[in-house]
């Protein structure tokens, strides 16, 4: 492998492990040397010299139990040798279970390897991770689908280094196998393609942090718990903005205030985000996104507060937060080229919240209102512009109001259950194809023993179209796998 390429090799045992091993070896050696010093002294008694009177034999000062038999000494030495051999084996196992990069930085591997079996009843935009329903089929014989896929499996890695430019550096990356065209042939589920999800490089100095990479929108960083919708998060197209976009972000801890006996930590963040619209204007010559054609970045900001333990252990799409909570308000503004030299504004006002009522019950959710938000991940029920008046027109910008909420309960130390709903309502004046999309889902997530994970989800979808027809679909998903 070339020097410029990254590689993973076995890491040498950590210094703390060696120190502990050395202490144990020294203790065992001292035990062997100090088993019974009197026995060695007795063997070294001097013989009487010639011509002198025989020495008077003194009476033994110790009891019979002070004398250790050769068999007992051999047994103790055998046990000591066995303990040393076991310790060496443990050190070898530890050295094999840790990896580091070529730059000698310790790397922590993460991942969730899942096999998802699904049954979709009714027509949906995609059968393995459906987000909205399609109009009813002319025949009842061709609207259901069953399949098995592993393309929602995820792999990632995290490194953390102290004292970098005077601060703490943390880097992470995560990939899955959900790449490929959603409406491509069926073999995309048989031969899934790798895809980068997120990648973040963070530098933190005290209360200030700078992040560069691909991540969720700053104004919408929560996702529902689900192992059935990982390639595309649950409630996408029905209130959840999630698209992983390139960005540069700066955040600052402002102050801590106390309300009653609860300290609140206030923070402010701002970022420059990739100008992605998820659409192209008619006549685009180079297959370039209309947001990128604006030749200017989008901007986001968020003001929020945290309390309890949420700053240390936050909620993920496969776990509840460790108590506490967080509330934030954010704004987004971007621009999209109309293909005629003009710009169309994309904007949003958003709110997110996660509140733990007890250590076992939490409520999480998001809500927003805005315009041309498909590029942030399913905004406008997956629409950026309405039906155009002419083939050379983009159509009216889609305005919508949307939100989702999910209640989760820690039913057992190894079992999480929950249910939630999301809805996206589009302005009828903007001539949308989908006027409303609503989704409700219930899930169970069971970790019977490490590393096994089992998830079950039922999801119902209802989509209202501009023709007045409403499509309905249901989805059942069973995920079986293991976590790193």
SS3 label, residue 234 = coil
pLDDT at 259: 87
Percent of residues in the chain assigned helix, strand, coil, to nearest 5: 15, 45, 40
Let me know if residue 347 belongs to a domain. Answer: yes
**Shared domain check, 113 and 94:** no
Question: In 97-195, which residue ranges form alpha helices assigned H by DSSP?
Answer: 187-190
Q: Are 172 and 211 in contact (CB under 8 A)?
A: no
pLDDT at 62: 44
DSSP codes of every residue in 252-268: EEEEEEEETTEEEEEEE
**Shared domain check, 114 and 100:** no
b/e per residue 344-364 (b: at least 16 CB within 10 A): bebbbebbbbbbbeeeeebbb
Let me know if residue 227 belongs to a domain. Answer: yes
Let me know if residue 54 belongs to a domain. Answer: no
**Shared domain check, 156 and 253:** yes
For 2, 3, 252, 473, the CA distances from 6, given in Å and listed in that order, are: 8, 8, 33, 45
**Shared domain check, 94 and 220:** no
What is the domain count for the chain? Answer: 2
Burial class (CB in 10 A: 0-12, 13-18, 19+), 73: middle
Question: Which of 232, 240, 277 lies closest to 424, judged by CA?
Answer: 240
Let me know if residue 255 belongs to a domain. Answer: yes
Let me know if residue 197 belongs to a domain. Answer: yes
> Cα-Cα-Cα-Cα dihedral of 375, 380, 381, 386, to 10°?
-100
Let me know if residue 259 belongs to a domain. Answer: yes
Interacting residues of 191 by C-beta distance below 8 A, sequence separation 6+ = none
**Shared domain check, 269 and 213:** yes
Question: Which of 344, 318, 430, 320 lies closest to 381, judged by CA?
Answer: 430
Q: Are 421 and 240 in contact (CB under 8 A)?
A: no
**Shared domain check, 112 and 79:** no
For 11, 160, 164, 198, the CA distances from 168, given in Å and listed in that order, are: 22, 7, 6, 20
Q: How far is CA 421 from the centre of its chain?
A: 22
Q: Are 289 and 276 in contact (CB under 8 A)?
A: yes
Let me know if residue 147 belongs to a domain. Answer: yes
pLDDT at 207: 92
* Domain span at 91: 6-35+72-104
End-of-domain residue from the set 80, 104, 128: 104
CATH number at residue 163: 2.40.160.10
Q: Are 346 and 329 in contact (CB under 8 A)?
A: no
b/e per residue 301-314 (b: at least 16 CB within 10 A): bbebbbbbebeeeb
**Shared domain check, 177 and 94:** no
**Shared domain check, 130 and 274:** yes
**Shared domain check, 150 and 28:** no
State how far the Cα of 393 lies from the Cα of 182, in Å rounded to an integer.
26
CA 473, 477, 483: angle at the middle one, nearest 5? 150
Side-chain-facing half-sphere of 422: CA atoms under 13 Å: 33
**332 - beta bridge partners?**
300, 348
Q: How far is CA 402 from the centre of its chain?
A: 24
Give phi and psi for 13, each to the nearest 5.
-55, 140
Question: Tokens representing 58?
Answer: 């003194």
pLDDT at 324: 87
Q: Could you count the other beta carbons within 10 Å of the beta carbon of residue 193?
A: 13
What tens digit of pLDDT does each residue of 212-245 get?
999 999 999 999 999 999 999 999 999 999 999 9
**Shared domain check, 363 and 467:** yes
Average pLDDT per consecutive 10 residues, the chain (484 residues; last block may be shorter): 41 44 52 46 44 44 50 78 79 61 80 96 93 86 88 95 93 93 65 93 96 96 94 96 97 92 94 95 91 96 87 73 89 95 96 92 96 96 94 92 97 96 97 97 96 97 96 97 94
**Shared domain check, 306 and 372:** yes
pLDDT at 75: 79
**Shared domain check, 228 and 142:** yes
Sign, CA dihedral 136-140-142-148, equals: positive
Interacting residues of 18 by C-beta distance below 8 A, sequence separation 6+ = 91
Asked if the peptide bond before residue 451 counts as cis, ω within 30 degrees of 0, the response is yes
Let me know if residue 60 belongs to a domain. Answer: no
């Amino acid at each position: 492998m070339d020097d410029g390429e990254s590689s993973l090799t076995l890491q040498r045992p950590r210094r703390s492990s060696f120190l502990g091993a050395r202490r144990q070896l020294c203790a065992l050696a001292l035990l062997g040397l100090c088993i019974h010093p009197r026995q060695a002294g007795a063997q070294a008694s001097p013989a009487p010299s010639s011509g002198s009177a025989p020495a008077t034999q003194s009476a033994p000062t110790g009891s019979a139990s002070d004398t250790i038999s050769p068999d007992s000494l051999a047994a103790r030495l055998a046990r000591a040798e066995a303990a040393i051999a076991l310790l060496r084996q443990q050190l070898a196992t530890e050295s094999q279970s840790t990896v580091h990069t070529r730059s000698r930085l310790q790397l922590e591997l993460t991942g969730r390897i899942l096999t998802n079996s699904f049954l979709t009843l009714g027509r949906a935009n995609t059968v393995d991770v459906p987000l909205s329903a399609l109009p009813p089929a002319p025949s009842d014989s061709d609207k259901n689908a069953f399949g098995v896929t592993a393309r929602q499996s995820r792999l990632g890695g995290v490194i953390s280094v102290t004292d970098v430019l005077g601060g703490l550096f943390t880097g992470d990356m995560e990939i899955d196998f959900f790449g490929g065209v959603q409406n491509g042939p069926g073999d995309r589920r048989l031969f899934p393609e790798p895809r980068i999800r997120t990648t973040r490089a963070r530098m933190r100095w005290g209360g200030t942090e700078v992040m560069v990479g691909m991540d969720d929108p700053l104004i919408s960083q929560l996702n529902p718990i689900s192992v059935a919708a990982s390639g595309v998060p649950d409630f996408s197209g029905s209130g959840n903005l999630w698209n992983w976009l390139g960005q540069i972000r700066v955040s600052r801890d402002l102050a801590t205030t106390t309300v009653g006996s609860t300290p609140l930590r206030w923070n402010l963040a701002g970022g420059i985000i990739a100008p992605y619209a998820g659409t192209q204007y008619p006549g685009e010559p180079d297959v370039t996104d209309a947001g990128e054609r604006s030749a200017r970045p989008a901007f986001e900001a968020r003001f929020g507060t945290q309390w309890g333990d949420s700053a240390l252990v936050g909620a993920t799409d496969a776990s509840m937060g460790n108590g506490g909570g967080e509330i934030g308000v954010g704004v987004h503004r971007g621009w999209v080229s109309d293909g005629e030299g003009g710009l169309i504004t994309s904007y949003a006002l958003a709110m997110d919240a996660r509140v733990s009522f007890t250590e076992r019950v939490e409520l999480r959710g998001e809500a927003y209102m805005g315009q041309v938000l498909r590029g942030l991940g399913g905004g406008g029920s997956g629409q950026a512009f309405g039906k155009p008046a002419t083939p050379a027109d983009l159509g009216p910008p889609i305005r919508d109001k949307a939100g989702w909420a999910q209640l989760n309960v820690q039913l057992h130390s190894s079992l999480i259950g929950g249910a939630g709903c999301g809805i996206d309502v589009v302005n009828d004046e903007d001539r949308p194809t989908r006027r409303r999309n609503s989704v409700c889902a219930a899930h169970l997530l069971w970790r019977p023993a490490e590393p096994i994970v089992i998830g079950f989800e039922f999801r119902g979808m209802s989509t209202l179209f501009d023709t007045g027809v409403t499509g309905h679909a249901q989805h059942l998903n069973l995920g079986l796998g293991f976590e790193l």
